[in-house]
Each structure stands twice: as structure tokens, then as C-alpha cells.
Amino acid sequence: MTRPSDEDLRARLERAAVPGADDARTRARDEVMTAFAARRPRPRRRRRAGAAILVGATALALAAATAPGAAVADWVVLLVGAGPPAPTRSVIGALPAPGRLLVSSPAGTWIVERNGGRRELGSYRGASWSPRGRFVVAWRGRELSALAPDGRVAWRLMALGPVREARWSPDGFRVAYRRDSALAVVAGDGSAPRLLDDRVASVAIAWRPGARRTLAWVDADDRVVVADVDRVAGARRFAAAVPGARELAWAPGGRQLLVLGGAGSALRLLDTQTERVRAIGLARGEHAVAAAWAPAAHAPRLAVIVTRARSSRLLVSAIGRRLDDRPVFATSGRLTSVDWSPDASRLLVRWADADQWLFLPATGRGSIAAVSPVARRFRGAPTIRGWCCVARSPRAATAPPRRGAGAR
């Protein structure tokens, strides 16, 4: 038998699997995630890029010295900002900003109070707040219900098909909802349901701020529709199509409509007066996965999560031709959603890879609070359905809407 050469032996050894590689990779990744939660961010020093912190540097240095360790090199985490760290909480503690969270998972829907207490409303697949948080509209299957925050049912409606989404109007007198491929509306007290459009796209609907009855949706031909729900015959169907759109969001003031999704996961602004559609520039190779406007009482700002390959950035920007390129937060993991606190001081993002909620200062300066593991707390991956105001009085928060009245 021919004896293999040194080069042949070296090649075979390099291709051989290292015993325990998978376990080592998992341990190293866990070390990095744990280190992230306790690491203190350093102050931002440069205007454009900020300061970068290498989280878990010791763990990564030790891991990189081995073949299994080389596989965790992508789990370096970058933070931009400053302030004292907040410890990761395995239970939900007090929220770092006023208001209450509405949260849904595959197992049900909850309200999370300011002190961190959780109240399960039931096995609803989704929900949204009434304008001032006095009620919740929730859905499961064909059932659409209005609930008080303590879980009591104010009214219940059986729709003609499975309910996919529902939104309360700004004045509280109407609830628009998508069922199958149709769009309908019902009075805020649960009476007089009626059809608005029998064929619509699977895109989030949006009530126009400051207008009592104006709703925006995307029809089956991928065109944006803006209509007074009491005069649908006069609906405006914009000529510019928005194929692939996933979400609509009105800018404060109600003139411009943000369209998220489409080719390259783009961001587009539709001017409802001129009917022009303008693309918002992103850095090359980046895609927008989530966006949210700051509450209307504050200066117009847009929070956007953009991804590139295996990294994510959270940007907060005034709207121009391009977004401000300085991130409030950046990580090698996946950020999947963003929501503003009612006072616009904090942003809540979901970090899917770490199974965490991150409460971030909207300015990029201040403490970061992390809550984990959130999927276990809500028996499945949670979706934030709204971070809302505090009800004015206990009675106002629980009294069911009167027939013919709205729910604020």
C-alpha cells in the first residue's frame, strides 16, 4: 500500500470533523449572548459611526483559537450609545416608559401593565387598542370582540370569514377589519357591520390621523385606496401600484402615507395630495423590515429596522430623500419589529436570535433594558400590537361602549 504524502495527510486532517464542534459552537454563542446583556456600552465618540463595543471579547478570543470556535465569529455584537446598563430580566419588570403593552402570540393575547404585571385576555390571535386604551378589539377565527382591559367582553361579532386584522378609528366610532380577502367595518358598539371592499390585498390597513372616517388600504390590484368609510363610492384609488406592500402607516399630519415592502423591501412615501410616490433611499444592500412613526404629538420621526446579510440596524430619522445613517442600535442578529413608547422616549425592538425585548433610548443615549426569554413568557414568539396610553379613570377603562357611542 502506498504511503500517503504529508500534503495528503494535511488535507485529510483539515477536512475531518472536530469532535464536539457543535457543542462548542453552542457554548460559545451562549457566552456571547450572556455577555451582551451585562456589558456597559461606551459613549459615542464619532458622529458618523459612534463607538463600537466588542461584546464577550474574552469568550470570542478563546473560541477563535479552536476550529469549533471559528464558527461563532459572526456573533460579535455592536452597540451604539451610552449610559448605565440594565440587567437582563427573566421576568418582565416595570416598563421603562409610561403606558401598557398589548402583546399577541400563537397562544393568546395579553396586556402588560406599567409595573410589568401581565393579564391574559384569552386565546385571541391578534388585537389592537381603541384610541385612548379604554378597550381592545381582538380576533380569533371568525370572532371579532371588543374587550375591556380586565378581559370582560363588551360585544362580540361573528364575521362571514376568518378575521385577519382589525383597527379602531381615531374617534372610536368605527372598527375596520379584514376577513379573508374582503374589508368590512362595524360601529364601535358592535352594530351595523357592512362591506367596504370585497377584494383587498393582505396588507395592514391604516386610519388617517385627525380624520374620523378616512381609511387607507391596498386593493387586489395593488393600488392604494383612501376612502371615507361612510362614502366608499367616492374612494380614491391611486394610479401607482405598490406590489409586495406589507404595511401602511400615516405620517403625522395625515398627508403622506408610508408604504413598507415591495421590491427590495423598500420604503416609499405616497403624497395623498399630489399622488406622487417617492422612494426613501437605503444604504446599498440593506432592506427595511419594520418601521414606525413617533407618536403624533412629537416631532415627525421615523424608526426603521434595516437588515444586510446577517446584521440589523435601528435608525431614527426625520424624513428626507435618505434616512439618517447613524444607528441607534446595531447587532449581528435579527431585529424583527419596532414600537414607540407613548411619550416617544423609548423604542421597543424584538431581537429574535436572543429571544429578547430591548427597550432602547430613542436618542441613542441612555440605558438599555433587556427582557428575556420572551417567547417562553408568552408561550410562543410575541408580537407587539401596541404600546398605549393609560386610561383616564378605572370606570372609563372598563365600562362597555353604549349603543351608538364610540369607544375611546
For 32-49, write each residue's pLDDT tens digit. Answer: 444 444 443 444 443 333
Distance (Å, rounded) from C-alpha 304 to C-alpha 139?
Answer: 28
Distance (Å, rounded) from C-alpha 56 to C-alpha 369?
Answer: 18
- The answer to whether 82 and 41 have CB atoms below 8 angstroms apart is yes
In sequence order, the 6+-apart residues with CB closer than 8 A to the CB of 403 are 189, 191
Q: DSSP E strands: which ranges in 52-134?
A: 100-105, 108-112, 118-122, 126-129
Q: DSSP E strands: which ranges in 54-142?
A: 100-105, 108-112, 118-122, 126-129, 136-140
* For residue 356, pLDDT beyond 90: yes
Given pLDDT bands bounded at 50, 70 and 90, which one contains residue 17? low
* For residue 66, pLDDT beyond 60: no
Average of pLDDT values for 133-148? 97
Please give the residue that has the higher pLDDT: either 163 or 285.
Answer: 163
Cα dihedral sign, 104-150-359-323 = positive
Given pLDDT bands bounded at 50, 70 and 90, which one contains residue 324? confident
Given pLDDT bands bounded at 50, 70 and 90, which one contains residue 210? confident
Q: Per-residue pLDDT tens for 117-132? A: 999 999 999 999 999 9
* For residue 112, pLDDT beyond 90: yes
Q: DSSP E strands: which ranges in 113-161?
A: 118-122, 126-129, 136-140, 143-147, 153-158
Q: For position 83, what pLDDT does the model report?
A: 37
Given pLDDT bands bounded at 50, 70 and 90, which one contains residue 107? very high
Q: Per-residue pLDDT tens for 274-309? A: 888 888 888 888 899 999 999 876 678 999 999 998
Average of pLDDT values for 192-202? 95
Q: For position 395, what pLDDT does the model report?
A: 44
Average of pLDDT values for 222-230? 93
* For residue 98, pLDDT beyond 60: yes
Q: For position 238, what pLDDT does the model report?
A: 86
Q: For position 341, what pLDDT does the model report?
A: 96
Q: For position 390, what pLDDT does the model report?
A: 58
Q: For position 364, what pLDDT does the model report?
A: 86
Please give the residue that has the higher pLDDT: either 68 or 363.
Answer: 363
Residue that is written with C-alpha cell 435608525 in the block: 315
Distance (Å, rounded) from C-alpha 53 to C-alpha 80?
Answer: 8
Q: What are the structural domains of the chain? A: 100-393 (2.130.10.10)
Q: Per-residue pLDDT tens for 365-401? A: 888 999 999 999 999 999 999 999 854 444 444 444 5
Distance (Å, rounded) from C-alpha 389 to C-alpha 168?
Answer: 15
